[in-house]
């Protein structure tokens, strides 16, 4: 991956971004509920993961507001789109915190559950805007365990000179899930065309990235000029990308928004994704593949988790977290576990 030099973020631009976010509202995203996607599946084939029910014992509630490293007086009133990963007896949670639900000007926080109690990290925010391409916020963490440590992918939002909004996939690395070092741009601009989302790497039930055919795969599903694009990597850090169709929504009469996550479980590879159904309404579904043939779709099923940070097993059941259902202005993340068969 060629190194791209990105200038530092400017204070005035960060302040303007924060003030804009405070005025954010969106009738469509304000009404999103986890249950509308994951609480009921019209059909439930053996390979599908879910439906899901809330597990209130794991609810996370951050306390207080973080110190603002950017000096613009930043605060949050919504936490959502998290990723969860285990390390020993600890459960690590990485989440997006925003001035308003689904607004820009987001930061990324970290909390650890030890002995049944959540502890928000005193180092928060662990990822915040420091670069010009992060001026409109850093969003939607996805964390994977690799052979050499951990990698965190996130979306960096910024405005180009022509006024259009751009989205970059960025990465950071850590040996302990506590201290993170930014690596920079993951998807080059000649591939992303200044808009790429996804960074979905198949994970196992513990949150470990799974090699397929001897390499890691990354499914990009939004941007890249509308081309279905897949990344390939030997180490999970350096990536090359190529156009590769992998998802056919014609049986659902829908159009893809974004792949949320991918699971490898034995002889099944399941993609969980967000799409617009035949009526144009928000919907979730899952697609089945074999790990040895990851681009040949075998089946589709309506219903999904939309677990942007990935699914994994907690107490033996597939689980994820999301904050969409928190009341307005309440910072809570709820955990959901697969309903017993």
Q: Nearest to residue 174, comparing CAs of 115, 126, 128, 137?
A: 126
291 occurs within a structural domain: no
Residue 28 lies inside a defined structural domain of this protein: yes
Q: Residue 26 has what pLDDT?
A: 79
Best CA proximity match to 322, nearest among 84, 119, 156: 84
Could you tell me if residue 221 is inside a domain? no
Max CA distance (Å), the chain: 54
3 state DSSP class of 331: coil
Strands (E), 202-254: 216-220, 222-223, 229-233, 240-243
Residue 287 lies in a domain: no
Closest C-alpha to 254, from 233, 275, 274, 238: 275
Domain assignment of residue 81, yes or no: yes
Structure tokens belonging to residue 267: 């002889």
The pLDDT score that the predictor gives to residue 117 is 97
Q: Is 300 helix (H, G, I), strand (E, B) or coil?
A: strand
In sequence order, what are the residues at sequence separation of 6 or more whose Cβ sits closer than 8 angstroms to the Cβ of residue 241? Answer: 187, 188, 191, 218, 220, 224, 229, 230, 231, 232
Give 23's DSSP letter. T
Q: Is residue 43 part of a domain?
A: yes
Query: Distance from first CA to last CA of the chain, Å, rounded?
Result: 45
- Quick check: 262 and 205 in contact, CB under 8 A? no
The torsion angle over the Cα atoms of residues 39, 43, 46 and 49, rounded to 10 degrees, is -30
Dist CA 155 CA 136 (whole Å): 10
In a domain, 206, yes or no: yes
Residue 324 CA to its chain's centroid (Å): 14
Phi and psi torsions of 116, nearest 5°: 80, 10
> Could you read off the pLDDT of 53-65 as tens digits, one per residue?
999 999 999 999 9
- Say what the pLDDT of residue 25 is: 87
Query: Dihedral angle at the C-alpha atoms of 63, 316, 319, 199, nearest 10 degrees?
Result: 110
Q: Positive or negative CA dihedral for 189, 192, 195, 199?
A: negative
CA distance 66 to 121: 10
* pLDDT computed for residue 31 by the predictor: 78
Q: What is the pLDDT at residue 172?
A: 98
Residue 273, CB-side half-sphere exposure with 13 Å CA sphere: 29
Assigned domain for 279 exists: no
* Mean pLDDT for the chain overall: 96
Name residues whose C-beta falls within 8 Å of residue 24's C-beta, 6 or more positions apart in sequence: 99, 100, 102, 103, 104
pLDDT of amino acid 196: 97
Choose among 54, 130, 13, 4: nearest CA to 323. Answer: 54
For 72, the domain range is 11-210+310-338
92 touches 176 (CB < 8 A): no
Query: φ, ψ for residue 328 (rounded to 5)?
Result: -55, 130
The Cα–Cα gap between 243 and 252 comes to 23
Q: Can you list the residues of the chain whose pLDDT is less than 50?
A: 1
Rounded alpha-carbon distances, angstroms, from residue 155 to 96, 107, 127: 11, 11, 11
Number of domains the chain contains: 1
Neighbours of 69 (CB within 10 A): 13
């Amino acid at each position: 991956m060629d190194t791209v030099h990105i200038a530092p973020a400017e204070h005035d631009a960060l302040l303007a971004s924060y003030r804009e976010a405070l005025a954010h509202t969106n009738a469509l995203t304000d009404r999103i509920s986890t249950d509308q996607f994951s609480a009921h599946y019209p059909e439930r084939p053996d390979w599908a993961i879910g439906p899901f029910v809330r597990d209130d014992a794991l609810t996370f509630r951050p306390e207080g507001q973080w110190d603002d490293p950017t000096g613009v007086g930043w605060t949050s009133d919504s936490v959502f789109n998290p990723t969860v990963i285990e390390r020993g007896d600890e459960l690590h949670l990485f989440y997006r915190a925003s001035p308003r639900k689904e607004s820009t000007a987001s930061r990324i926080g970290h909390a650890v559950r030890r002995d049944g109690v959540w502890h928000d990290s005193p180092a928060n925010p662990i990822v915040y805007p420091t670069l010009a391409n992060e001026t409109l916020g850093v969003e939607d963490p996805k964390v994977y365990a690799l052979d050499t440590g951990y990698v965190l992918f996130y979306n960096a939002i910024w405005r180009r000179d022509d006024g259009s909004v751009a989205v970059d996939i960025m990465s950071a690395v850590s040996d302990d899930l506590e201290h993170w070092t930014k690596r920079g741009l993951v998807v080059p601009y000649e591939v992303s065309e200044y808009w790429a989302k996804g960074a979905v790497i198949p994970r196992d039930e513990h949150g470990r990235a799974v090699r397929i055919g001897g390499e890691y795969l990354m499914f990009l599903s939004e941007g890249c000029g509308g081309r279905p694009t897949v990344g390939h990597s030997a180490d999970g850090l350096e990536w090359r990308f190529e156009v590769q169709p992998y998802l056919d929504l014609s049986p659902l009469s829908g159009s893809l928004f974004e792949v949320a996550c991918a699971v490898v479980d034995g002889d099944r590879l399941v993609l969980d994704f967000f799409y617009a159904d035949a009526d144009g309404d928000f919907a979730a579904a899952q697609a089945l593949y074999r790990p040895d043939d990851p681009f040949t779709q075998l089946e589709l099923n309506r219903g999904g988790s939309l677990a942007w940070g990935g699914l994994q097993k907690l107490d033996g059941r597939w689980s994820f977290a999301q904050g969409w259902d928190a009341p307005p202005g309440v910072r809570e993340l709820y955990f959901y576990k697969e309903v017993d068969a």
